[in-house]
Amino acid sequence: MKKLSTLLGASLLSFSCLVAAPIQAEETQVPSTINWTIPFGVGGGTDVWARFIAPHLTKNLEGNPTVVIKNQPGGGSITGTNLFYKRAKDNGQDILGTSASTLFPFMLGDKRVRYNFDKWLPLMASPTGGVVYVQPNLGVKSAADINKLDGVTLPFGSQGPTRLELPVLIAFEMLGLDVKPVFGMKSRGAGRLAFERGEAKIDFQTSSAYLNSVVDLVNNDKAVPLFSLGVLNKEGKVVRDPAFPDLPTFQEVYFEKYGKQPSGEAYEAYSKFLAAGFAFQKVIFIPADTPSDVIAAYRKGINAMLKDPTFIKESAVQVGPYVNVEGIDAAQHLSNALNISPDLYKWVAQWLKTKFDYTL
């Protein structure tokens, strides 16, 4: 836990020093080709997000550079992120896109993690939501029928117990669902394909992937949405996701089933990883040693992108009506979100061992 706090603090301090200085080199351009590493397979939520943003980066960055998406899946994003940490150049041509599956292993001290956040600066962080849905042949029409799933074995394609699905797996258990995860999926997109083939009975996708790949399934009676994860409001309370206002949140479904609000250590863990993994879920990082004028050029371009009416309109459709965070705000939120207490770490470690025979 000390390591995590130190690393994020160093990253925040570095970024604070950078943004405190005025942007002087307004004509500085980023390299003509930007290699954007996405440590996930094609079709998952992070890939969809990056491919949506890439042309808008090209449009708004000085010099209109070509942004090349480089998918490097494996290890639930650890493999590609480790490679980026080792090989990324610090001249501005290399950036990284991360997801909760990148943050969670770092938070939990996964021994395969070789990357340190003190070596990177966050340029932008995007919140997201997510939706859980099931096969239509289960006799469930909505979350109101969730009791019909009691005693039903529900195969679920998962990247791993400490990946993006961690809070969702906790939610499944709290709802008493007999979910049987099949670990090893290279991306959430692979999990969705298992659902489409009928191999999985329940699935979960982030907002961007759901909007782009699952809504058609729902409209064609090939999937039934149960609930969304909701979003955090300014007071830190979970409210309905504006992208899916007609879907109840996990908390609403829990209350409907048990007649009380969720609580206890399991819910504390769920809430912590929901905040860390979804409130600021997808992040664009750049090596911290990149020249300050190049970073300033990125900042200027991203700021212009987030104000671009075309981006705002298309973003609401493609990835959901969420507010992106940039600069020092992104660093501060990440610092807070990734800090996990020793007691909570202990509970999660014991739960993973008991539930999945997985040892941190």
Q: Is the pLDDT of residue 7 over 60?
A: no
C-alpha 58 chain-centroid distance? 23
For residue 125, give the nearest of 279, 277, 280 by alpha carbon: 280
59 lies in some domain = yes
Measured between its terminal Cα atoms, the distance across the chain in Å is 14
Q: Is the pLDDT of residue 179 over 90?
A: yes
Residue where a domain terminates, one of 245, 274, 303: 274
pLDDT digits (tens, 9 = 90+) for 220-246: 999 999 999 998 887 778 999 999 999
Q: For a pLDDT cut of 90, what percent of the chain falls above it? A: 65
One domain, residues 16 and 120: yes
Structure tokens at 45: 């939520």
- 328 versus 294: which is more confidently predicted? 294
Q: How confident is the model at residue 43 (pLDDT cuts 50, 70, 90)?
A: confident
Residue where a domain terminates, one of 274, 292, 324: 274
Q: Which long-range contacts (CB under 8 A, 24 or more apart) does 311-318 make?
A: 311/56, 311/60, 314/52, 314/56, 315/52, 317/211, 318/48, 318/52, 318/208, 318/211, 318/212
C-alpha 239 chain-centroid distance? 18
What is the pLDDT averaged over residues 300-319? 93
The pLDDT assigned to 110 comes to 87
Q: Is the pLDDT of residue 141 over 70?
A: yes
One domain, residues 84 and 108: yes
The parent domain of residue 222 ranges over 130-274
What is the pLDDT averaged over residues 191-213? 94
One domain, residues 48 and 164: no
357 lies in some domain = no
Q: Dihedral of CA 321/326/328/333: which sign?
A: positive
The CATH number covering residue 181 comes to: 3.40.190.10
For residue 41, give the nearest of 188, 243, 254, 211 by alpha carbon: 188
Q: Counting Cβ atoms within 10 Å, is residue 62 exposed (0-12), middle (13-18) or buried (19+)?
A: middle
Rg for the chain, CA atoms, rounded: 20
Q: For a pLDDT cut of 70, what percent of the chain falls above it? A: 91
Mean pLDDT across the chain: 89
The pLDDT assigned to 265 comes to 94
The pLDDT assigned to 5 comes to 47
For residue 47, give the nearest of 209, 191, 159 by alpha carbon: 209
Q: Is the pLDDT of residue 47 over 50?
A: yes
Structure tokens at 75: 């290890």
Number of Cβ within a 10 Å radius of residue 49: 27
Please spell the DSSP secondary structure of 209-266, one letter per residue. HIIIIIHHHHHTTS-EEEEE--EE-TTS-EE--TTSTTSPBHHHHHHHHHSS---HHH
Question: By the 8 A CB rule, do 154 and 163 touch?
Answer: no
The pLDDT assigned to 16 comes to 52
Residue where a domain terminates, one of 274, 304, 325: 274
Q: Is the pLDDT of residue 108 over 50?
A: yes
The pLDDT assigned to 25 comes to 43
Question: By the 8 A CB rule, do 206 and 130 touch?
Answer: yes
Number of Cβ within a 10 Å radius of residue 89: 12
Q: How far apart are CA 174 and CA 155, in angstroms?
A: 17
Q: Is the pLDDT of residue 45 over 80?
A: no
pLDDT digits (tens, 9 = 90+) for 311-354: 999 998 887 888 888 876 677 767 777 778 899 999 999 999 99
Q: Is the pLDDT of residue 56 over 80?
A: yes
